[in-house]
Structure 1
Amino acid sequence: MSNEMYQLIAIVLYMSTMIFIGWYAYKRTSNLTDYMLGGRSLGPMVTALSAGAADMSGWLLMGLPGAIFMNGLVETWIAIGLTLGAYLNYVIVAPRLRAYTQVSGDSITIPSYLESRLKDSSRLLRVVSGIVILIFFTFYVSSGMVAGGKFFLSSFGLDYHIGLLIVSAVVIFYTLFGGFLAVSYTDVVQGVIMFFSLLLVPIFGLFLTGGFQETTQSIREVDPQLLNFISGASFLGIVSAVAWGLGYFGQPHIIVRFMAISSVNEIKKAKHIGIGWMILSLFGAVGTALVGIAYYQQNNSTLADAETIFIVLGQIIFHPFIGGVVLAAVLAAVMSTISSQLIVTSSALIEDLYKAVIKTDASDKQYVFYGRMAVLIVSIVAMFLAWPNNESILSIVSFAWAGFGASFGPIILLSLYWRKITAKGALAGIIAGAVTVLIWGNVEILKTTLYEIVPGFIICFAVTYIVSIVTYRPNSEIDKEFTEALKLLEKEK
């Protein structure tokens, strides 16, 4: 049997598992809360691994190892920032958001939570938030589909469009039928595959390169500065890299996991699992790159595409079937993010735009059907955008991360910790943050100096605070809910 056939078997087994999980989740989905939020029944392990898998995407297995392979440890500052941001997200956002979304209208989406929390009778805040999510995530999903098409092209020589259709079909199937539960359960499997692959490749890679000391020596022979954390970095460059962590507070596809966990009490367990998974996975990505540098130095050869170092080492080190599992890890990283973004986009379209604006008296079963149709519609639009195989669409990822972080991050934090935030303040802040990112991210001299999330986050926070102070009027219902959320938080800790 050829190496490619072994790899193909591994990929087919992986995709079959995803489809089975989708069918299993379909059997457990009966109403809109089930479909959009899993009935608030997630355990700590599912919450942690699904949040991690949804977050990291192909960046963890390809982007980060590729950057370190080319430029050394100076590229790890983004990983440091993301780890710090994820930890703070579990500590300062997760418990309060879980409690508050339950107390305030049993909200199942971020826009519906903001509307209920701030008692916005105009519905404008919810609609604008839903539109922002719908637009950004449609492009975000599209970028993931591009990555899926490229995966099959580079790994098996399959036509880009066939690869795009295969990845899209499997993700659409389990997301459309199984909803949030299918997305979360598949994320767990995908997270486990990513985790073990990222650990095994560098560990077994050290046997190829002669051990830790020999590996370090080989890297120094290439360039001693590759092991320097600050070589070639400016102060603002490091600030920009670490500032990626600010994005966590406003990422709908990540923080929605905190709303779905079964209780506040389970968040501490989820934090330990999630941060442990993240740190070890990031160490694996860094180790993969360093082992790769040493391997290519020792063999006097070069790598055509630095971002494939994880895949290439997996094929060199392991039996072709295990090499296929390594390939599945890359596919898992891509698909887990696509599915998470699809379900949040579907939620925005149905829960925050259709229900909020049209106000129909449809049954829960009908709304679940509408949610599934929303997944299909968004998927088709995303596939249409991905079809030309346009390289530039992948750059939307960092831009969208900044957009969500700057638009929603300060609003989420203030809504959870400050009684006096108002709907008008939140709306002004969302618009100010989004506009800042849009302008800053498109001016070359600005975006190359400082990552746009920094000014966007600061301006959103300042505008929200100032407008809220000006427009604040005492509201007994808001005060009551704020107190109830704090009591629930204390009760379940």
Structure 2
Amino acid sequence: MDQQTWFIIALGIYLLAMIYIGWSGWRKTAEYDEYMIGGRGLHPFVAALSAGASDMSGWLLMGLPGAIYLSGLNQTWIAIGLVIGAWLNWKFTAPRLRSYTKIAHNSITVPSFLENRLHDRTKILRVAAGLIILLFFTFYVSSGMVAGGRYWESTFGGNYHVGMLLVAAITVAYTLFGGFLAVSYTDTVQGVIMFIALAAVPVAGLIYLVNHGNSVADIFSFAANNPYPGSDGKPVEGYFNMFSGTSALAIIGLLGWGLGYFGQPHIIVRFMALRSSKDATEGRRWGIGWQFLCMLGAVIVALTSTVFFATNPNANVTDAESYETIFLDMTRILFHPLIAGLILTAVLAAIMSTISSQLLVSSSALIEDLFKATVNKSLRPKTYMTLSRVAVALIAIIAALIAANPNSSILNLVGFAWAGFGAAFGPVLLASLYWKRLNATGAAAGMITGAIVSFAWGMSPLTDTIYEIVPGFAAATVVMIAVTLATAKPSGEIVDQFERAVVAARD
């Protein structure tokens, strides 16, 4: 059999497994809160790997290696910031959010939690939060579809748009029917696949290069002295120097990616779904261990690929502009087609896990936080479940239209959406969990300020100076504190609820 046939067999095995998990999730999903949050019974291992897989997406296997390949180790500041931010998020957000969302009228989304936590009767908080989620997740989902199209191009030599639509259709199918449980279980399987792939490919790359006359020292010094595809015929100056060509503001901006964790709805919802607050500790250990090892693998893939593609005349990079297919191309060349096909499903796993989580949260924003909160809150739970499924399909269509441009950068699309969520929700959620003085007016002002500053900054040339999450997060924090202190204190009932949540988080 030829290579393409083996790839198709591997892809078929993977897709059938995902559809089966989606069907199993559908059988276990009878109630609306089960569709949206799994009945708050998520095991910490499942929560950790599903959060990690939905977080990393195609960025980990495509965007990060491509960025390091082109610019050097100065791009690893992103990975460092993300590991630190994820650890802090699991440590300080997860346990208290799990207890507080249960106490705050069993809130099952970020917007509903903010409304119930601050007793906002105006609906401003919930509606604004829902609109922000829809706006930025549309860009986020489209980044996954771009990655799907490139995956199809590199792996099968097929048409970008066909691949984009196929990946989107399969993901929408199991999200549509299985809901939160299907998404969480598929994410866990996908997280395991990603881990295996990011261990196998760099090891195979190193073995290949050593067997072809390169010492390990040669491999890790090559890019410092030799031009390679993408470097315009010149060596990248200071390739192995993390500070080379990077200003202090740029480093702050790259580390600032870690701030985004505090405001990502598709990650935070896993904290809400844990069995108890105590599970956050175990979840943190699984999640951070998985994330660190996967990122290390991605960095080694980028480093070995600089030598691999420069010294192997038969090796070509499919994406010769942003070089976000080097993981795919190395895998295709190094392994037997069936093994390569199974490894390459890791990229598809990363893409689909993120799209599915984001579609589910987006549909909850549209139905739970906009339609139910402002139009009709007296329909039957099964009707809301049906409307949520319709919302999944509509959001997927809009994201596909954005992703129709094959020149879109995965990293740029992810970065824009990540910053928007981090700036809008991060300060407000942290204050909701740790500052009893916070009121609804201050929270709304901070959230809206963060979204606007991040959006405007990201659309302007200023984004080249410092990543937009930093000014957005700072502006949101300052405005939130100032407006809160300038307006009325929260009621005794709100303060009492806050204190009960603090105690519950320790139990």
Is the CA contact (8 Å cut-off) linking 1:117 and 1:415 kept in structure 2? yes
Q: Matched residues in 1 for 2:498 and 2:377: separation?
A: 30
Greater shift after overlay, 148-157 or 322-331?
148-157
Please point out which of 356, 363, 368 is paired with 1:339.
356
TM-score by length of 2: 0.93
Is the CA contact (8 Å cut-off) linking 1:38 and 1:180 kept in structure 2? yes
Please state how far the C-alpha of 1:301 moved relative to its aligned partner.
7.5
Q: Matched residues in 2 for 1:204 and 1:90: separation?
A: 33
Could you tell me which residue of structure 2 aligns to residue 471 of structure 1? 487
Q: Matched residues in 2 for 1:256 and 1:335: separation?
A: 18
Decide whether aligned partners of structure 1 residues 394 and 448 sit closer, same or farther in structure 2, where only a CA change above 3 A counts.
Answer: closer
Is the CA contact (8 Å cut-off) linking 1:421 and 1:472 kept in structure 2? no
Decide whether aligned partners of structure 1 residues 164 and 185 sit closer, same or farther in structure 2, where only a CA change above 3 A counts.
Answer: same
Letter in 2 for 1:417: Y
Letter in 2 for 1:70: L
Is the CA contact (8 Å cut-off) linking 2:59 and 2:410 kept in structure 1? no
Could you tell me which residue of structure 1 aligns to residue 55 of structure 2? 55
Q: Matched residues in 2 for 1:382 and 1:290: separation?
A: 33
Could you tell me which residue of structure 2 aligns to residue 213 of structure 1? 217
Q: Matched residues in 2 for 1:381 and 1:348: separation?
A: 15
Decide whether aligned partners of structure 1 residues 485 and 208 sit closer, same or farther in structure 2, where only a CA change above 3 A counts.
Answer: same
Please point out which of 220, 230, 246 is paired with 1:233.
246
Could you tell me which residue of structure 1 aligns to residue 112 of structure 2? 112
Q: Matched residues in 2 for 1:383 and 1:58: separation?
A: 16
Unaligned runs of 5+ in 1: none
Q: Matched residues in 1 for 2:302 and 2:442: separation?
A: 45
Could you tell me which residue of structure 2 aligns to residue 35 of structure 1? 35
1:24-423 pair list within 5 angstroms: 24-210=24-210, 212-222=216-226, 225-299=238-312, 303-304=316-317, 305=320, 306-387=323-404, 389=406, 391=408, 395-423=412-440
Could you tell me which residue of structure 2 aligns to residue 484 of structure 1? 500
Please state how far the C-alpha of 1:471 moved relative to its aligned partner.
1.2
Q: Matched residues in 1 for 2:221 and 2:405: separation?
A: 44
Q: Matched residues in 2 for 1:254 and 1:272: separation?
A: 16
Please state how far the C-alpha of 1:220 moved relative to its aligned partner.
4.5
Is the CA contact (8 Å cut-off) linking 1:58 and 1:330 kept in structure 2? yes
Is the CA contact (8 Å cut-off) linking 1:415 and 1:421 kept in structure 2? yes
Please state how far the C-alpha of 1:204 moved relative to its aligned partner.
1.9
Q: Matched residues in 1 for 2:401 and 2:460: separation?
A: 28
Is the CA contact (8 Å cut-off) linking 2:59 and 2:411 kept in structure 1? no
Work out whether 1:424 is the aligned partner of 2:437: no
Letter in 2 for 1:86: A
Please state how far the C-alpha of 1:150 moved relative to its aligned partner.
2.7
Is the CA contact (8 Å cut-off) linking 1:47 and 1:261 kept in structure 2? yes
Greater shift after overlay, 103-112 or 159-168?
159-168
Please state how far the C-alpha of 1:382 moved relative to its aligned partner.
2.3
Could you tell me which residue of structure 2 aligns to residue 19 of structure 1? 19
Is the CA contact (8 Å cut-off) linking 2:50 and 2:191 kept in structure 1? yes
Cα deviation digits, residues 294-349 of structure 1 (max 9, x gap): 32344468754332221122122211111112221111111111101000001101
Q: Matched residues in 2 for 1:448 and 1:217: separation?
A: 29
Letter in 2 for 1:107: S
Q: How many residues end up aligned between the 2 structures?
A: 490
Cα deviation digits, residues 393-412 of structure 1 (max 9, x gap): 87332111111111110000
Unaligned runs of 5+ in 2: 227-234
Greater shift after overlay, 238-247 or 472-481?
472-481
Decide whether aligned partners of structure 1 residues 33 and 132 sit closer, same or farther in structure 2, where only a CA change above 3 A counts.
Answer: same
TM-score by length of 1: 0.96
Q: Matched residues in 2 for 1:173 and 1:481: separation?
A: 40
Could you tell me which residue of structure 1 aligns to residue 232 of structure 2? none
Q: Matched residues in 1 for 2:315 and 2:371: separation?
A: 53
Cα deviation digits, residues 221-242 of structure 1 (max 9, x gap): 4358322221211111111111
Letter in 1 for 2:363: S
Bigger helix fraction: 1
Q: Matched residues in 2 for 1:299 and 1:364: separation?
A: 59
Identity of aligned residues (%): 51
Could you tell me which residue of structure 1 aligns to residue 473 of structure 2? 457
Q: Matched residues in 2 for 1:483 and 1:376: separation?
A: 41
Q: Matched residues in 2 for 1:360 and 1:56: separation?
A: 35
Is the CA contact (8 Å cut-off) linking 2:63 and 2:410 kept in structure 1? no
Is the CA contact (8 Å cut-off) linking 1:32 and 1:368 kept in structure 2? yes
Q: Matched residues in 1 for 2:8 and 2:313: separation?
A: 30
Cα deviation digits, residues 353-389 of structure 1 (max 9, x gap): 1110123322222221121121122222223333454
Please state how far the C-alpha of 1:217 moved relative to its aligned partner.
4.4
Q: Matched residues in 2 for 1:486 and 1:430: separation?
A: 23
Could you tell me which residue of structure 2 aligns to residue 448 of structure 1? 464
